[in-house]
Amino acid sequence: MGATRLLRVALLVLGCTVPSTVVAQTTPVPPPTEEERKAAFPPDLQGHAVHDDGLHFLVLADQLEWQVSDSGGGAIWDAKGWVGGDLNRIWVRTEANYQEGAFDDAEGHLLLGRNFSRWWTVVGGVRHDFTPGPARTWAAIGLQGLAPQWFDVEVTGYFGESARTALRAEVEYDLLLNDRVAVQPIFELNAFGKSDPERQVGAGLSSIEFGARFRYEIRRELAPYAGLLWHRKVFGTGDLAREQGEDVGGWRLVTGLRLWF
């Protein structure tokens, strides 16, 4: 016997009036009508539709900056973006270094990415180097995502004509000091399988860069920053730069803007 029925019996034995709320609770709820079912489940939700078929996009200009070193100054940009769904996306990456009125380095990627886990994406496509020297086109395949402790990792291998190979690895980390101020340490290295003197590239480890940028987020999408970086061309690439009378690198002061939408 249910608790409501026991309460009714007890009240009747004691000669009390049964409250209307108790009587209402014993009245069975009528089954929903067809109109009520249609109102609760409109046609666009029939079949338990999921939300992974939408088309989304992101554009991130991670570095729009001016760098100053002992050898002078120059503009740098590093931007990327994607368009697609939760699993499959088209990625675009661009990087350029503008020094003394000319592009010292410029490249672009067009990649197709597939998310294979919560935090990781495998990408494949093409990379095109515009400068320095003759243009080069590479097939690219890589892995990008968030490693444990929230390190942002991007590793890409490249395969070009004449059996050329290359590798790039980047690691970044966002350390939030408060709601507005963040520090972004960064580490990057580049390596090549064989020398390419026309593009001033030597075999082996080619360049190393590390440092940190301190940014103030006016909004999450808009943040000016300043920082200190150490960049150097090493081994064969450094030797080729010295032969051309070029600077092989050192410490750089940077200031710029980070934005996304």
| Segment 159-217, tens digit of pLDDT | 999 999 999 999 999 999 999 999 999 999 999 999 999 999 999 999 999 999 999 99
- Going along 132-179, which residue ranges are E strands? 136-147, 151-160, 165-172, 175-176
Residues 6+ apart with CB under 8 A from 52: 85, 86, 87
Answer whether 138's CB lies under 8 Å from 126's CB.
Answer: yes
What is the phi-psi region of residue 235: left when phi exceeds 0, alpha when psi lies from -120 to 50, beta otherwise?
left
Residue 144: strand, helix, or coil: strand
Band (7; pLDDT cuts 50, 70, 90): low
What are the C-alpha distances in Å from 175 to residues 50, 180, 212? Answer: 34, 11, 10
User: Minimal CA–CA distance to 191: which of 230, 171, 211, 164?
Assistant: 164
State the pTM of this model. Answer: 0.78
| More confident call, 19 vs 32 | 32
Helix (H) or strand (E) holding 75, with range, is strand 72-84
**So what's the pLDDT on residue 33?**
85
Backbone angles phi, psi at 203, to 5 degrees: -70, 150
Q: 132 preceded by cis ω (within 30°)?
A: yes
Whether 50 has a pLDDT exceeding 70, the answer reads no
